[in-house]
């Protein structure tokens, strides 16, 4: 069931006893994960995350799922269940709770701690409830069973959801590290039991589906980190996600073995790691961690752990690369990017690497050393899961199109019928009725942009205008005309930004504007809107023909 560009209408009403599934994010993209399940008139939301903007989305801070599908039904939502504490799974929760503040938020202890601290920044107090792997409970018409999975953050869960229509197993983000740092492996025994009982739809993390073999164990990083620390004369700066507790633990352990002090830098890093340490998920040996204010007392024998591994412009590492941070990196320093590249972030990351190298630092990253392993199952692990679970239907989630297609092909290789693999995009409506899955329609599902305090006000056409302004510049043309005769009284006055500074350049087009307006007036055209469009067209054809440019043109006609 492949629907890359579906020509589908709105779905009909869900049949009694049916289960409806609509992903509002996370399909065809890495991030913005959010899926809505409907049964007996009630809704269950699994994950509610954000997507980070790409370079062609200037000025955008975050991208949210489109809540319009559920906006009229907020009171039907039984709960939001969060599989784990990464931003692409929890980052949009504050924005949904602004619309209805008493939706219960469910997750494991660490996930709830992370979401509470995030909500505190938004001045929101939520109803939260902690659950554990192995627990079963009923949430409205949804029977839930929480299953431990291994990921790059502690306390991640998969969830089995059973209704009258059948059973779904949703993996969340997971991998099958057999020697995880915290000893908590993916619970394949429960996967197998669920499979034996019958999984009607297996919703599976696709991020590494196109990578053969098995994801490297987290423990394999330690020797590479050890070599980096041993060969660094001055400071080690490590950039990581502020939620990657396992990676931070390895850095702290390595720092201790090399008798270096550790400093957390950046608000989110300090907040999350303090939470993780308080809750026992992060072990910090006595005397290793120091406050930022104490750095001067310890010379260069430091490990600075900060955010910015994706080239985010306001993060600590980007500011170091720009030279506008209190920490100035240089000769003898080593910078470690302890993460993989999220698709779309390549240019900002390489820019940061180049600038840090220009200052004299050595930059170590995934491409030149084993300083990162993925948190997602590769093809070999996914094949194991398909053979254990033996699902009737498979729906790849959490990935770009190439990942989801590769995931579907793996399922087919293990015996899932091709017609039972559901590869769809956000907004496609899938119904399960009597254990059978089918595509039944689509709902509007766009991008919702956060720009400062503005949420959803920025449209695709606004972004197009920003791109044009950034790439092509701006020309304004002002003409004053006599309201009776239509003749030009003053102007044309032309002002340009980001196009050309030579005022004389516009002399040629001024005469063209005058002729075009005179012709229009003689033909009886005298409305200011119509005349301004004639000016836009005249300037546009001149600038396109003579200069091969397409700046934004703002024509203004004033009547006196």
- 210 and 409 Cβ atoms separated by less than 8 Å: no
Residue 428, CA distances (Å) to 18, 90, 275 in order = 16, 22, 38
Encode pLDDT of 485-536 as tens digits.
667 767 677 777 666 656 666 766 777 777 777 677 776 666 677 777 777 7
The SS3 of residue 21 is strand
Task: Work out the number of other CB atoms within 10 angstroms of the CB of residue 98.
Answer: 12
The SS3 of residue 488 is strand
Burial of 328 from C-beta contacts in 10 A (0-12 / 13-18 / 19+): exposed
DSSP, res 241: -
Cis previous bond, 492, omega within 30: yes
Encode pLDDT of 251-300 as tens digits.
999 999 999 999 998 888 888 899 999 999 999 999 899 888 888 888 88
CA pair distance 308, 191, nearest whole angstrom? 36
Structure tokens at 97: 């709770």
Find the helix or strand (DSSP H, E) in which 402 lies.
helix 401-413
Q: Which segments within 231-326 are labelled E, that is strand?
A: 236-239, 261-264, 302-306
CA pair distance 161, 37, nearest whole angstrom? 9
CA pair distance 554, 474, nearest whole angstrom? 8
The pairing of strands 428-433 and 436-442 is: antiparallel
The CA-based diameter of the chain, rounded to the nearest angstrom, is: 87
The pairing of strands 166-170 and 157-163 is: antiparallel
Structure tokens at 280: 């026992």
Nearest CA to 153 out of 236, 48, 253, 249 is that of 249
CA pair distance 47, 135, nearest whole angstrom? 18
Residue 87, CA distances (Å) to 50, 58, 112, 312 in order = 6, 20, 13, 14
Nearest CA to 539 out of 557, 521, 560 is that of 557
Residue-by-residue pLDDT tens, the chain, 560 positions: 555 555 788 888 999 999 999 999 999 998 899 999 999 999 999 999 988 766 666 556 678 899 999 999 999 999 999 999 998 999 999 999 999 999 999 999 999 999 998 898 889 999 999 999 999 999 999 999 999 999 989 999 999 999 999 999 999 999 999 988 888 999 999 999 999 999 999 999 999 999 999 998 888 888 888 888 898 888 898 888 888 888 899 899 999 999 999 999 888 888 889 999 999 999 999 989 988 888 888 888 889 998 876 766 667 788 888 877 788 888 888 888 887 766 666 777 888 888 888 888 888 887 777 777 888 999 999 999 999 999 999 999 999 999 999 999 999 999 999 999 999 999 999 999 999 999 999 998 888 776 656 575 566 666 565 555 555 667 777 777 766 666 776 767 777 766 665 666 676 677 777 777 767 777 666 667 777 777 777 777 777 777 676 777 777 777 66
Render the burial of 80-97: b for 16+ CB within 10 Å, e for the rest: bbbbbbbbbbbbbbbbbb
- 172 and 156 Cβ atoms separated by less than 8 Å: yes
Q: Angle, nearest 10°, between helix axes 507-522 and 528-547?
A: 140
CA pair distance 388, 384, nearest whole angstrom? 6
Phi, psi of 207 (to 5 degrees): -50, -40
Q: Kindly list the structural domains of the chain, giving each domain's residue range(s) and its CATH number in brackets, ordered by start.
A: 18-213+374-452 (3.60.15.10), 218-364 (3.40.50.10710), 460-559 (3.10.20.580)
- 492 and 478 Cβ atoms separated by less than 8 Å: yes
Task: Work out the number of other CB atoms within 10 angstroms of the CB of residue 409.
Answer: 16
């Amino acid at each position: 069931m492949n629907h890359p560009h579906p020509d589908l209408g709105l779905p009909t009403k869900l049949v009694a006893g049916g289960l409806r599934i609509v992903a509002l994010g996370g399909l065809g993209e890495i991030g913005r994960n959010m899926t809505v399940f409907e049964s007996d008139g009630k809704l269950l939301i699994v994950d509610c995350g954000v997507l980070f903007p790409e370079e062609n989305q200037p000025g955008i801070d975050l991208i949210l799922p489109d809540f319009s599908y559920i906006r009229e039904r907020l009171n039907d939502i039984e709960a939001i269940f969060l599989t784990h504490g990464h931003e692409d799974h929890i980052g949009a929760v504050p924005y949904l709770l602004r619309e209805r503040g008493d939706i219960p938020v469910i997750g494991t202890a660490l996930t709830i701690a992370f979401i509470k601290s995030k909500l505190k920044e938004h001045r929101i107090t939520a109803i939260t409830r902690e659950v554990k792997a192995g627990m079963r409970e009923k949430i409205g018409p949804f029977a839930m069973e929480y299953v431990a999975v291994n990921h790059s953050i502690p306390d991640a869960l998969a969830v089995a959801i059973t209704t009258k229509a059948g059973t779904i197993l949703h993996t969340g983000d997971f991998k099958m590290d057999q020697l995880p740092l915290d000893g908590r492996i993916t619970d394949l025994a429960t996967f197998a039991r669920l499979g034996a009982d019958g999984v009607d739809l297996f919703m599976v993390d696709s991020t590494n589906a196109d990578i053969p073999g098995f994801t490297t164990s987290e423990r394999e990083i330690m020797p590479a980190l050890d070599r980096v620390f041993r060969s660094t004369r001055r400071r080690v700066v490590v950039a990581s996600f502020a939620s990657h507790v396992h990676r931070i633990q390895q850095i702290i352990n390595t720092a201790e073995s090399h008798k270096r002090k550790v400093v957390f830098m950046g608000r989110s890093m300090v907040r999350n790691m303090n939470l993780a340490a308080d809750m026992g998920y992060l072990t910090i040996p006595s005397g290793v961690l120091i406050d930022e204010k104490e750095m001067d007392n310890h010379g260069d024998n430091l490990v600075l752990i900060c955010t910015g591994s994706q080239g985010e412009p306001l993060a600590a590492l980007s500011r170091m690369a720009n030279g506008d941070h209190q920490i100035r990196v240089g000769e003898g320093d080593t910078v470690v990017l302890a993460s993989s590249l999220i698709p779309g972030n390549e240019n900002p990351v390489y820019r940061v690497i180049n600038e840090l190298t220009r200052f004299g630092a050595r930059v170590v990253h995934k491409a030149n050393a084993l300083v990162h392993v993925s948190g997602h199952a590769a093809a070999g692990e996914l094949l194991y899961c398909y053979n254990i679970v033996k699902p009737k239907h498979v729906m790849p989630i959490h990935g770009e199109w190439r990942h989801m297609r590769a995931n579907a092909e793996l399922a087919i290789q293990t015996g899932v019928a091709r017609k039972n693999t559901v590869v769809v995009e956000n907004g496609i409506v899938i119904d399960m009725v009597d254990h059978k899955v089918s595509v039944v329609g689509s709902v509007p599902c766009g991008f919702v942009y956060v720009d400062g305090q503005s949420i959803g006000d920025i449209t695709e056409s606004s972004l197009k205008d920003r791109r044009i302004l950034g790439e092509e510049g701006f020309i304004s043309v002002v003409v004053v005309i006599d309201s009776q005769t239509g003749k030009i009284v003053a102007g044309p006055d032309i002002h340009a930004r980001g196009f050309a500074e030579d005022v004389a350049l516009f002399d040629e087009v001024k005469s063209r504007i005058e002729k075009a307006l005179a012709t229009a007036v003689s033909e009886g055209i005298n409305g200011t809107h119509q005349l301004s469009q004639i000016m836009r067209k005249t300037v546009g054809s001149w600038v396109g023909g003579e200069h091969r440019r397409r700046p934004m043109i703002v024509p203004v006609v004033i009547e006196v």
